[in-house]
């Protein structure tokens, strides 16, 4: 399974990852992206990683 992490300090709140995630597990919370859906729904597609301009979104395969 995959685990997605958003580094709130690096997130500039552009919303790109939220719009791009095909599993719809990311949402904006207080101006930052956050994982609000089930992490087990993450398919490891790396779309969030690629779409993030600041490198705040990372995924890890467990
Ligand atoms: S890796 Fe893909 S499915 Fe997982 S959170 Fe990022 S965009 Fe969504
Ligand atoms: S793409 Fe990166 S900077 Fe933009 S909201 Fe997502 S984590 Fe934050």
- In this structure, the residue with its CA closest to atom 4 of ligand 1 is 42
Instruction: List % helix, strand, coil for the chain (3-state, nearest 5).
Output: 20, 30, 50
- Return the structure tokens found at 15: 């919303």
The residue whose CA has the least distance to atom 8 of ligand 2 is 11
* Ligand found nearest the CA of 39: 1
For residue 11, the model assigns a pLDDT of 98
Residue 19: what pLDDT? 98
48: enclosing H helix or E strand: helix 47-51
Average pLDDT over residues 30-57: 96
Residue 39 predicted with pLDDT over 90? no
φ/ψ bin of 17: left (φ > 0), alpha (ψ from -120 to 50), beta (otherwise): alpha
Q: Which domain holds residue 13?
A: 2-61
5-20 tens-digit pLDDT: 999 999 999 999 999 9
25 lines ligand 2 (CB under 6 A): no
**Domain total in the chain:** 1
What's the full length of the chain, in residues? 62
CATH number of the domain that 25 lies in?
3.30.70.20
């Amino acid at each position: 399974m995959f685990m997605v992490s958003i580094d709130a300090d690096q997130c500039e709140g552009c919303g790109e990852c939220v719009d791009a995630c095909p599993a719809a597990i990311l949402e904006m919370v207080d101006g930052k992206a956050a994982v609000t859906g089930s992490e087990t729904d993450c398919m490891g597609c790396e779309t969030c990683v690629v779409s993030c301009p600041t490198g705040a979104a990372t995924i890890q395969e467990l």
